[in-house]
Amino acid sequence: MLIELDVNGRRQRVDVDPDRTLLSVLREELELTGSKYGCGEGECGACTVLLGARAVRSCQTPVAKAAAAPVTTIEGLEREGRLHPLQQAFVDEGAMQCGYCTAGMIMAGVSLLKSTPSPTTDQIVRGMNGNVCRCGAYPQIVAAIERVASEGKKP
Amino acid sequence: MTTRRDFLKEVGGGLVVVLVASRVPALATLGAEPSLHAGEADDTDRISAWLHIDERGAVTVYTGKVEFGQGIRTSLTQHVAEELRAPVESIRLVMGDTELTPFDMGTFGSRSTPQMGLQLRRVGASARELLIGLAAERWKVERSRLVAENGRIVDTQTKRALGFGELTAGRRLTETITADVAPKPATAWTIAGSSLPKVGARDIVTGKHQYTSDMRLPGMLYGRVLRAPQMGATLANVDTSAASAVKSAVVVHDGTFVGVAAPSSAEAKRALEAIRPTWTPPSEPQPSSTSVHEHLKRSSSRASGRQAGGEGGGGAQPFVHGNVDAALASADHKLARTYTVAYIAHVPLEPRAALAQWTRGAEGDRLTVWTGTQRPFAVRDELVRALGLVPERVRVIVPDTGSGYGGKHTGEVAVEAARLARGAGKPVKLVWSREEEFRWAYFRPAGVIDVGAAVSEDGAITAWTFDNYNSGPAAIRPSYAIANQRVAFHPSDSPLRQGSYRGLAATANNFAREMHVDELARLVSMDPLAFRVKNIEDARLRAVLEAAAEKFGWGKKPERGNGVGIACGFEKGGYIAACAEVAADRASGAVKIVRVVAAFDCGAVVNPAGLRSQISGGIVQGIGGALFEAVDFENGVVRNARLAQYRVPRFLDVPEIAVILINRKDQPSMGAGETPIIAIAPAVGAAIYDATGIRVRSLPMARNGLGASTT
Ligand code: FES
Ligand code: FES
């Protein structure tokens, strides 16, 4: 089936089985491998992308459903070579070890900051709890989100 | 040459991709390392095996170590920059490539910092002295007036300067590495010792970094492998006709190996599901997680000591000192307890992955495999053996990987991908599913530990017996001064495949030891901190303990009926102490770790921010094994092979963590990826006791609340 997607501001058509996951289409057909496979069961958040302003698990999203709203992946955050403030904050806070969870963490964090621009620590912790960092960089990830919130930059 | 667009059409099997701008395949540069360096790597006493400077002054460093998130790409870069006096940005590390980097045993055992760090400091210092010599010759002046700084050799009298690249003009630096120039002492470091941000962080936050599982080669297929329904089952026969009928899928049947490869992972999955295998179950029933501890103890006498997967670790000699039996017989107080630990899974967030490519050359087939393994050379040898090749025709390349924690020592996924690629006649990428990771990787060993001790009325430990069944001999000996000791490791027959894990058995051994010490302290009515200090000889261990206790406010009564606990440990050159405050409810069994203070001493600190992150990360991971991680299995089947069923630490599980770094610039730098994990479980265990009066002697301690664990 021919499906039209808006990914990172570009319209693209893919001819795939509509049941395929958005994650596999992003990674295999569109070569956007920034979104990761960590579990395929909706439990780790490594595959998180934005559908509209909402963070979704792309491993649980049939690609046909993603045609409904613009998709933003980690590759779509940079603007003219400038990192999104949360990407920059992850670098500055050292909020990664192996970095495999990072894309999903940033996308979940961007969505959190969109809905709650000045979250409390508790709101961050609860809002991010669906994302796993097996390296345990959680304290640094919380610090990165707090840094953006306190800088008051527009997320 | 096919363009990117043609290639997509070709492999997509009718797939149309519109508006994907033709872009350079992500892999165009991979595998295209300067072949200049191939073959250099064997001459490891020469600078050129480790370091190359091109005509523009760009420095390439070659090391067989790999980056899995522990931060050595960054810290090793700092060391080279420091010794060579070259800007950090001019240095690039080629890591874990069996064709380009010197042989390396593997990245485990916290050896990268003490060994590779020192090696690269020597290499950097030797190269710097060589450059100074070249400039002295060129200018016909005394070496002593020349200095290296910022990628150049400067004449301090005339102020003229020559860039490193101008001096070497890109020639191979075949001079011998000299032991004569001592690397800078840590007290003089300016680049090492600072919190340089992670090298490559920008590529990670933008999603550009290509992990093995992200890679793609022209014509590449996606693989899947047929798995048995239970461990030990063998393939009786298999009908692959329906799978072969799946459009564009290739079935590879090679002895007992059956797998498929197809242009998309979805098609590969469909083809795999169409395979009809018949399995013969193993002849004997296998122990389950509920009976494993009895099994391990019972089977220890007939075990061979072999530990499958990972680096092994069996066969330690019993350690005997003084006369334990006499000391026990005459003791004021005695205490004997049994502790157990469960099998746990590494759960690296990037599952095992490999991309295999065969190429035909004049001298025969060559195999290149990109894979996230901690032991690239061992995996090369595994490929050589499994596929009947010669080492010279096999190359293993390890991209920076989505973590391992000791779980990626082996090459099963590399061998599988290579088989599929050979059968399909095309490059094949194989990424294990999360479920495959849970079922078919190896585990941290379960174990039973019997501890006996005697303590005098005034709080001196006078006798110590320690018998570890199966979990391993790492950090098995006490770091307390005890005159009479008998310490032994007994290998067992493990029903599950087991192997290395962050900290190895040090976590289990330190849990049993420190829980026991806590109980001994209470037996003689001493404060657990004072009791430890009395029995510790090593000043560095005492220092971390006291630093953690002070910052924690040890001795103050915690709020709201919370409990507090303290523990320490020494392993692989690192000293760790942790204090924990726990809210534990006796009635409901709920446990929440409120705060942790940890102090760590691993000698001279190379990168403080990176080190803090390793320590807090180790503590977080340790919380999982301490409180809730365990593999459930029954008759060869893992019962909780999903992330929804196997609980790992999440944001909500993380306490407030304060880390104290004891920076001993007078001591050699040691690794930090492992040891910080070993003190958290006993500190939490002691705190649970302090809060509730319940002694939990099994890891995990509170999987279904406290009550369930103590039954
Ligand atoms: S891969 Fe989608 S939640 Fe884990
Ligand atoms: S940094 Fe490794 S999983 Fe988060």
**Could you read off the pLDDT of B417-441 as tens digits, one per residue?**
999 999 999 999 999 999 999 999 9
B69 shares contact with chain A (CB less than 8 Å): yes
Q: Which of A133, A146, A147, A148 is the best residue to mutate to test the B interface, defined by the most B CB atoms within 10 Å of its own CB?
A: A133
Residues B629 and B501 in one domain: yes
In the predicted model, what is the mean pLDDT of residues B639-654? 98
Going by pLDDT thresholds of 50, 70 and 90, the confidence category of residue B301 is low
Give the whole-angstrom CA distance, residue B355 versus residue B420: 10
| Better pLDDT: B248 or B35 | B248
Residues B226 and B121 in one domain: no
Q: Which of helix, strand or coil describes residue B252?
A: strand
Single out the residue of B159, B641, B218, B287 nearest to residue B438, CA to CA: B641
Q: What pLDDT sits at residue A125?
A: 98
Residues A57 and A99 in one domain: no
Dist. CA A104 → ligand 2 center (Å): 10
Residues B44 and B122 in one domain: yes
In the predicted model, what is the mean pLDDT of residues B7-21? 31
Give the whole-angstrom CA distance, residue B585 versus residue B588: 6
Residues B49 and B135 in one domain: yes
B17 shares contact with chain A (CB less than 8 Å): yes
Beta carbons of A90 and A103 less than 8 angstroms apart? no
Dist. CA A100 → ligand 2 center (Å): 5
Task: Report the nearest atom of ligand 2 relative to the CA of A136.
Answer: 4
Residues B242 and B193 in one domain: no
Whether B136 is in a domain gets the answer yes
> A99, B621: Cβ pair inside 8 Å?
no
Whether B96 is in a domain gets the answer yes
Residues B187 and B233 in one domain: no
Residues A70 and A110 in one domain: no
CB of A69 shorter than 6 A to ligand 2:
no
Give the whole-angstrom CA distance, residue A30 versus residue A26: 5
Dist. CA A137 → ligand 2 center (Å): 7
Residue A100: CATH number of its domain: 1.10.150.120
Residue A15: give the domain boundaries: 2-76
Domain total in chain B: 3
Nearest chain B CA: its distance from A149 CA (Å): 18
Single out the residue of B453, B487, B457, B463 nearest to residue B473, CA to CA: B487
Dist. CA B552 → ligand 2 center (Å): 28
Single out the residue of B472, B408, B15 nearest to residue A31, CA to CA: B15
Which residues does chain A have within 8 Å of residue B210's beta carbon, measured at their own beta carbons?
33
Whether B523 is in a domain gets the answer yes
Q: Which of helix, strand or coil describes residue B68?
A: coil
> A134, B198: Cβ pair inside 8 Å?
no
Last residue within a domain, chosen from B179, B206, B233: B206
Which residues does chain A have within 8 Å of residue B204's beta carbon, measured at their own beta carbons?
90, 96, 99, 102
Residues B233 and B175 in one domain: no
- Beta strands B656-661 and B591-601 are parallel
In the predicted model, what is the mean pLDDT of residues B386-403? 96
Q: Which of B205, B208, B401 is the best residue to mutate to test the A interface, defined by the most A CB atoms within 10 Å of its own CB?
A: B205
Mean confidence (pLDDT) of chain B: 90
Domain total in chain A: 2
> A15, B201: Cβ pair inside 8 Å?
no
A vs B: CB pairs below 8 A: 205
**pLDDT tens digit string along A42-97?**
999 999 999 999 999 999 999 999 998 999 999 999 999 999 999 999 999 999 99
Residue B249: CATH number of its domain: 3.30.365.10
Q: What pLDDT sits at residue A151?
A: 84
Whether B161 is in a domain gets the answer yes
Last residue within a domain, chosen from B375, B407, B431: B431
Last residue within a domain, chosen from A76, A102, A133: A76
Q: What pLDDT sits at residue B610?
A: 95
Whether B397 is in a domain gets the answer yes
Residue A49: CATH number of its domain: 3.10.20.30
Q: Is the pLDDT of residue B693 over 60?
A: yes
> A100, B206: Cβ pair inside 8 Å?
no
State the Rg of chain A over Cα.
15
Q: What pLDDT sits at residue B302?
A: 56
**pLDDT tens digit string along B604-634?**
999 999 999 999 999 999 999 999 999 999 9
Going by pLDDT thresholds of 50, 70 and 90, the confidence category of residue B307 is very low
Which of the listed ranges B41-45, B152-156, B177-181 does the model predict with the highest average pLDDT?
B152-156
In the predicted model, what is the mean pLDDT of residues B665-676? 91
Q: Which two tokens stand for residue B490?
A: 């007994």
Task: Report the nearest atom of ligand 1 relative to the CA of A130.
Answer: 3
Residues B447 and B427 in one domain: no
Give the whole-angstrom CA distance, residue B613 versus residue B293: 34
Dist. CA B367 → ligand 1 center (Å): 32
Whether B482 is in a domain gets the answer yes
Q: Is the pLDDT of residue B303 over 60?
A: no
Task: Report the nearest atom of ligand 2 relative to the CA of A46.
Answer: 3
Last residue within a domain, chosen from A76, A107, A142: A76
Q: What pLDDT sits at residue B375?
A: 95
Look-up of token digits 């025709």: B393
Going by pLDDT thresholds of 50, 70 and 90, the confidence category of residue A138 is very high
Which residues does chain B have within 8 Å of residue A141's beta carbon, measured at their own beta carbons?
651
| Length of chain A (residues) | 155
Going by pLDDT thresholds of 50, 70 and 90, the confidence category of residue B107 is confident
**pLDDT tens digit string along B276-300?**
999 999 998 889 999 999 999 998 8
Single out the residue of B654, B596, B436, B427 nearest to residue A135, CA to CA: B654
Q: What pLDDT sits at residue B31?
A: 40
Q: What is the DSSP letter of B18?
A: -
Residues A47 and A69 in one domain: yes
Query: Where does residue B220 fall: left (phi above 0), alpha (psi -120 to 50 degrees), or beta otherwise?
Result: beta
Query: Where does residue B353 fall: left (phi above 0), alpha (psi -120 to 50 degrees), or beta otherwise?
Result: beta
Q: Is the pLDDT of residue B9 over 60?
A: no
The residue whose CA is least distant from atom 3 of ligand 1 is A42
Last residue within a domain, chosen from B206, B239, B267: B206
Helix axes B608-623, A138-151, angle to 10 degrees: 120
Q: What pLDDT sits at residue A152?
A: 74
Last residue within a domain, chosen from A32, A50, A76: A76
Whether B458 is in a domain gets the answer yes
Ligand nearest B347 Cα, by number?
Answer: 2
Dist. CA B192 → ligand 2 center (Å): 24
Single out the residue of B470, B475, B531 nearest to residue B676, CA to CA: B475
The residue whose CA is least distant from atom 4 of ligand 2 is A133
Q: What percent of chain B has pLDDT over 90?
A: 83
Interface of B with A in 411-470 (CB under 8 A): 431, 433-434
Look-up of token digits 């579990």: A39
Q: What pLDDT sits at residue B317?
A: 63
Q: Is the pLDDT of residue B385 over 80?
A: yes
Residue B648: give the domain boundaries: 292-344+443-699
> A75, B207: Cβ pair inside 8 Å?
yes
Nearest chain B CA: its distance from A126 CA (Å): 7
Q: Is the pLDDT of residue B310 over 70?
A: no
Residues A12 and A64 in one domain: yes
